[in-house]
Each structure stands twice: as C-alpha cells, then as structure tokens.
Amino acid sequence: MLHTAVTDPAAARDSAAKDPAAGAPGAPAESATLISYEGVGKTFETLQGDVVAVRDITLDVREGEFVTLVGPSGCGKSTLLNMAAGLFEPSAGLVRYRGELVAPYNQRVGYMTQNDHLLPWRDVLGNVIVPLEIRRVPKAQAHERVAALLEKVGLKGFERAYPSQLSGGMRKRCALARLLAYDPEALLMDEPFGALDAQLRLKMQIEIRRLTKALGKTAVFVTHDLDEAVALADRCVVFTHRPGTIARVVEVPLPPDRDLLGLRHNAIYRDLTAELWDLLSPDMDRLDD
C-alpha cells in the first residue's frame, strides 16, 4: 500500500454509516460517505473587507462517486476543494473525510489543477516517480509502478520525453499518472482540462471517467463547462452566484460505462444540459463583484 492509511476502512465505513449527514442521493446505498460538508461556510478576511465565498453547504460525496461542481466564477468551487484537501478550515460548519474532521493536509486525496506543474528538468518517468521517491519506495518497485501507470494513461514509450516535448494532452496524462502514483482514494480536480482544445478535452474526459471507475476512485471535479459537468458526473452539483450555495443537485442517470463520444445524441444528456443551462443562465450576465 502506498498511501497512508490513517483509519481502518471497515471502522471508517461503520462510523460513516452512523453519520447523520449520510444519505444523499446519487450513489449506491452501500457506499460509505467519503467527504461530507456539513453546513459549511467560508469567509475570507481581506484588506477590502470580508468575502463570503460559500454559505450553508451540506453535501456528501460517496465512495466511488463521480461528482461534478459547476457554477459561476467566484462561487467558491475551488474553496470547497481546498477545504476537502485540508488547505483551509471552514469558517462555519464541518468538513469531514471518512467521518473524521479534515486536518491539514489531507493525504488521502490527490489534487489536480488547471496548471499541471510538471518539473521541466525531469523527463516523464522522472516526474511521475516523484511521489514514490518521497515515500522512499524501493527503486525497482517504483519503476514497475510508474511503467504500469504510464501504460494506463497511454504514455508508454514516452518515458524519456521532457515536458517541453509533450503535447497539451500528454502533459495532462503525465500529471494524471503522477497524481495516481500517490494512490489517493479521492481525486480533487479543479478545471483540469480547461486549457485544452475541444478534441483533446473529450479524449481526456473519456480517460478520466474510464480510469476513475476502473481504479475505484472517488472524484470531485470542478468545471465551468455544463456539457462536461453532465458527461462526467454521477451527480452534478450546481451552485449559485457568490456567496455560493447549492442551487440543485442533479442526478445523472447515464450508464456507468457511458459512451462519451455518442452523448450528443442521448436524450437524457441533452435534457440535463438544457436544465443546467436554464439554472445557470440568470447568473451569466452578473459580474463577480
């Protein structure tokens, strides 16, 4: 096991089952609650005064679920991920991970942002192996694991390429392999494909959905893109303009092994994206004031 197991998973599942906040729709009933926000608010004190980023957020993310967060700029989506990662404490309410309060830093989650933060002086292998070096995994074992990960993300054969020699999509795959090298239980992803062109983006969406499901990872994925929010999600959480509150939690009843290429022709997908559009369009012409 490469990740740091803090709690016995069975005990954690029991404690999560007793958690009164458990029971949100959208995941198999037997799944444990992994991340729970219980009446969460976050206010930042700035020189210009207090900024209320989010208010009254109550949300459970269950083990194995793919949850997308969508909402206007500044409504607190990144702030919610940061609190789950233990980078910020909430100003009100509680954020739990497997029933325990999230402490700085939550090592059981992996975080992927829009910027891939690859080390330019290291090749692909050298980048992906970093988490294993930090954990002092024996070299042969680490190399074996990196080789398996590179195969999974479709970068086999590019071990010796440097980030400057990679396409945008390959850089994302490399960052994804490095994230998976930590073997986190949950992947927190903040607009990870925002900078990619439409075709590459679709390719990465297919990969991320396939990999998270195949590896049994839980995913919380922030996006501005309504199509992406529906295409990837088991559940999609729609936020209001700042201070962000939950406007709607939308179940996405598309099959787990959905064909992302063919979704455009799927009536459920079309109806849901239209519903989200109607929900969010009143906020479209508001500035992030």
- Give residues in contact with Mg ion (CB under 5 A): 78
Rounded-to-integer distance, Cα 169 and Cα 175, Å = 10
Contact region with ligand ATP (CB under 6 A), list: 67-75, 103-111, 179-187, 197-205:
67-75
Q: How far apart are CA 286 and CA 263, in angstroms?
A: 30
Query: Would you say 48 or 199 has its CB closer to ligand ATP?
Result: 48
| CB neighbourhood size of 209 (10 A) | 21
| Of 18, 20, 29, 46, the one binding ligand ATP by CB under 6 A | 46
Spatial separation of the C-alpha atoms in residues 245 and 224, rounded to whole Å: 16
Cα–Cα nearest to 210, from 168, 182, 180, 190: 180
**Contact partner, 48, from ligand ATP, Mg ion, none, Cβ < 5-8 Å per class:** none
Binding mask 218-247 for ligand ATP (x = CB under 6 A): ------------------------x-----
Closest approach, Cβ 111 to ligand ATP, in A, equals: 13
The span from the CA of 118 to the CA of 126, in Å, is 10
Q: How many CB atoms lie within 10 A of CB 52?
A: 15
- DSSP per residue, 231-247: HH-SEEEEEPSSSB-EE
**90 scored as a contact of ligand ATP (CB under 6 A):** no
Residues 145-164 that bind ligand ATP (CB under 6 A): none
- The least distance separating Mg ion from the CB of residue 74, rounded to whole angstroms, comes to 8
**Burial of 195: CB neighbours in 10 Å, binned 0-12, 13-18, 19+:** middle
| Residue 250 lies near ligand ATP (rule: CB under 6 A) | no
Q: Nearest distance from residue 232's CB to ligand ATP, in Å? A: 17
Nearer to Mg ion, 3 or 224 (CB): 224
Between 54 and 132, whose beta carbon lies closer to Mg ion? 54
- Residue 69 CA to residue 237 CA, distance in Å, equals 5
| Site residues, ligand ATP (CB under 6 A) | 44, 46, 51, 53, 73-79, 242
